[in-house]
Structure 1
Amino acid sequence: MSNQVQDYPSRLSDPASRKMGTFSYLPPMDEQKIRRQIEWIVKNGWNPAIEHTEPENAWSHYWYMWKLPMFGETDVERILAELEACHRANPGNHVRLIGYDNYRQTQGTSIVVYRGRMV
């Protein structure tokens, strides 16, 4: 058994190879796994927020905010519905879910739920 680290040949010139955070190196999450991530965010008391951007701008620090953060929201179905609504309104964009940690005053997690396609 080899303990070598696998190389991921991400290149700016190859949009299909680009990775966006830790979760993007894993196989795509199905709906149940996404649901479990949302449940974890809610269980930890973090505030969910949804952002989106065009794939060609994903490397920018600025993504568009989809509505206001969902302060205090604990209904997983409502969060899933907002993710889907953002995706329907912006079908070519990446859509990500963020969990804001109230105590540390920072993003506790960020997960790209829908990936747009480069044109």
Structure 2
Amino acid sequence: MSTVQDYASRLSDPGSRKMGTFSYLPPMSPQQIRKQIDWIVQNGWNPAIEHVEPQHAMHSYWYMWKLPMFGETDIDLVLAELEACHRANPGNHVRLIGYDNFSQSQGANMVIYRGRAV
């Protein structure tokens, strides 16, 4: 039987908190982020961007950056909006959402930029 690793993630330490499956992996490279966006748009999902202060990341409400990009297929435009959100909110976590129209839920959710913990 394999040993399961314990991640040192604590509510008292915002910088240690894990936010979804991808946060347990090493940070994605720009090429890997591009592939994730491509997968989202190729599957007909709508990209959206949200952000929040690190100390509030565990709350259910994140701020929406503009409106979801309904029908958007231009990967460079999605990347530009992620960067614009990060520039406008440099201390916040910024995440990419892929809304699945069929199930009417989030089909993908990943933090692209991690903010500074306070």
Normalised-by-shorter TM-score class? over 0.9
Give 1:70 shift: 0.1
Residue identity matched to 1:97:
L
Q: Could you tell me how far apart the structure 1 residues matched to 2:15 and 2:99 are?
A: 29
Gaps of 5+ in 1: none
| 1:105-116 equivalence runs, <5 A | 105-116=104-115
Q: Could you tell me how far apart the structure 1 residues matched to 2:52 and 2:8 are?
A: 23
| 1:1-119 equivalence runs, <5 A | 3-119=2-118
Runs of 4+ in 1 over 3 A off after TM superposition: none
The answer to whether the Cα contact below 8 Å between 2:15 and 2:54 also exists between their aligned partners in 1 is no
May I ask how many residue pairs the two structures share in their alignment?
118
User: Which segment is superposed worse, 2-11 or 75-84?
Assistant: 2-11
Deviation sequence 1:23-57 (CA, Å, 0-9, x none): 00000001000000000001100000000000011
TM-score of the superposition, structure 2-length normalised? 0.97
Q: Could you tell me how far apart the structure 2 residues matched to 1:71 and 1:14 are?
A: 36
Gaps of 5+ in 2: none
Calculate the aligned-residue CA RMSD, in Å. 0.9
Q: Which has the higher contact order (CA 8 A, sep 6+)?
A: 2
